[in-house]
Amino acid sequence: MFCLHDLKNLAARLFLVAQNAEHHGRDPAFQESAMRTVADTATKMTTLMSKLSLKSFTPMPVEAPEPIDLSNLIDETVAPIRGEGQALRQR
């Protein structure tokens, strides 16, 4: 989920409304458009907050870690550096 990206976009919408209000705030068409933008942005922010809420968070099932032979793993990792041409096996 691109939550940070979504939040930046929503904040940018509100910033633009506030910035344009300085110049067009008395225009009824601008006021109507601005209110639609604010209401839509508030709805989207509420939806995003709901998705981020711990109440709606469903943890992914975590499998038990598989034991590995670290010594063997290190040897397999370092072998190509040492010039040992042994092919690594697929896991």
Predicted local distance difference test score (pLDDT) of residue 30: 95
What pTM was estimated for this model as a whole?
0.56
Mean pLDDT for the stretch of residues 19-25 = 94
Residue 90 has pLDDT above 80, yes or no: no
Evaluated on CA atoms 24, 30, 36, 40, the torsion sign reads negative
pLDDT in tens, 38-88: 999 999 999 988 888 866 677 778 888 889 899 998 888 888 888 765 555
Predicted local distance difference test score (pLDDT) of residue 16: 96
Amino acid at 86: Q
Asked if residue 45 lies in contact with residue 10, where contact means CB atoms within 8 angstroms, the answer is yes
